[in-house]
Structure 1
C-alpha cells in the first residue's frame, strides 16, 4: 500500500503520468480520474497522448526502418514535451488553488521503444538529461498493466487503430514501459490480479493517486463503486 506524501497544499499543481501497456485502460482511466477530481473541486487538465496524434496521422511504426524509428521517437519526445508545456503554462496561469494535470504517457515512454544506446543518443542530441525527464518533471507515475497480463480474456485490438501487439508482445511492451520509469520516487503499478472487474481496476487507480496526495477517499470510492 502506498504511503501518503501529504504534498497537497493550498496552491499546488500536481502532475501525473498515466502510462501502461497496450489495452491497459488508460483512456478510460484518464476520463474517470478527471471526473472524480472535478467532482471534488479540482481544476483538471488532460494532456493527450502524442504518439496517437502522430500515428493517427498516417505514420505506420511497423513500416519504419531502424533509423526512421529513431527519428520518430526523437520527434515524438520533443513534440510531447512541447504539448505538455502548453498545459503546464496554462496551469501556472490559472487562478485555481488545486490543479491536477493528467499526462497520457510521459517523457520516458519513448525510451521503451528504442534500445538504450539509441535513447542515450536522443538525449544527447536534444540536450536533455534522463534525471530531469524522469525524476523531476512529474509528481507521480501511474502504470496500468496491460490486460494481456492477468486479464487475457479482455485483451483486444479492436479499440485502437494503432495497436497490433500479440498477447506476448503486449506483456513485453508493458514490462519495458514500466521499467522506463524505474528511479522515479512515486511509481504505482495498477495490476489486474485481484480485480473482479475493470471498475475495480479503476478504483485502484483512483485510490493510488489519492493515497499519494494524502486525500481521504473511502466514502467517495465506496459510493462510486456501487
Structure 2
C-alpha cells in the first residue's frame, strides 16, 4: 500500500491554557466525517480517580500509563475510522515535558525514540499557552492545577520537543482564539489535501 494512502494523525498540543480542547471540538465539527478525535489521555486518568503526584517514582508510573493510553486511544480511533484523519488532544511525546528524569530515560522506559514518535504524526499544531501573553489560564477544568508561571515553563518544554517535528505549526498566544481555530482548520485542510 502506498504510504500516501494511509491517513495518519495530527497532534494538537501546547502548554496548559492554550485553548486546545475547545479548538479541537470546533475543528471536529468543521470536518464532520473526515476526522476522528482522540481525547486527552492525562485528563482521562486524573479525572478517573488517580491523584496527581510530585513523587518522582509515581510521576514516572503515571506518565508511562498516560503514554500507553494515548497510543491505544489513537489506535482505537484509527481502527474504528480507517479512512479518517485522527486528530489528537496532545500526543505521545507530551509526557516528556512532565518526565522527572532525562530524555534518554523516557525513551528507554517507553521503548521508543523521538523519530518513532514523530513518524506517528503528519503534523503538529502547537497552541501556545495564553499565560505567555499575560492572560489568566484559570478554567473550569478541575484537573488543571498549573500556575501561569508553571504553564509557561511547560509550554517552553513542549515547544522545544515538538518544534523538531518536520511539520510543526506554531500558533502564537497573542493570536485571537478565532484565528487559532482557523489556523488549525487550515492545517487540517493541508494534511487532507496531501492525500489527494
The TM-score by the shorter chain falls in which range?
0.7 to 0.9
Query: Which residue number in structure 2 is paired with residue 17 of structure 1?
Result: 11
Query: Which residue number in structure 2 is paired with residue 221 of structure 1?
Result: none
Query: Which residue number in structure 1 is paired with residue 99 of structure 2?
Result: 114
The 3 A distance-change label for structure 1 pair 64 and 139 is same
What are the superposed Cα offsets for residues 129-159 of structure 1, whole Å, 9 maximum, x if unpaired?
Answer: 221012x101000011111112x33x23232
Query: Which residue number in structure 1 is paired with residue 50 of structure 2?
Result: 59
| Distance across 2 between alignment mates of 1:16 and 1:116 | 27
Q: Rg: which structure is higher?
A: 1
| Distance across 2 between alignment mates of 1:165 and 1:125 | 26
Secondary structure at 1:137 match in 2: coil
2:160 to 141, 158, 179: 179
The 3 A distance-change label for structure 1 pair 139 and 91 is same
| Distance across 2 between alignment mates of 1:18 and 1:147 | 15
| Distance across 1 between alignment mates of 2:172 and 2:192 | 20
| Distance across 2 between alignment mates of 1:32 and 1:121 | 36
Tell me if structure 2 keeps the 8 A contact 1:13–1:91. Answer: no
Give the Å deviation of 1:183.
2.3
What are the superposed Cα offsets for residues 44-89 of structure 1, whole Å, 9 maximum, x if unpaired?
Answer: 211111000001122232x341111011111211121111111112
Show structure 1 runs of 5+ residues with no match.
1-8, 216-226
Residue 100 of structure 1 pairs with residue 91 of structure 2: no
Q: Which runs of 4+ in 1 moved over 6 A?
A: none
Query: Which residue number in structure 1 is paired with residue 40 of structure 2?
Result: 49
Secondary structure at 1:46 match in 2: strand
Count of aligned pairs between the two proteins: 192
Secondary structure at 1:164 match in 2: coil
1:35 to 29, 33, 36: 29
Aligned-residue Cα RMSD (Å) equals: 2.2
| Distance across 1 between alignment mates of 2:7 and 2:81 | 7
Show structure 2 runs of 5+ residues with no match.
none
Secondary structure at 2:31 match in 1: helix
1:190 to 171, 175, 182: 171
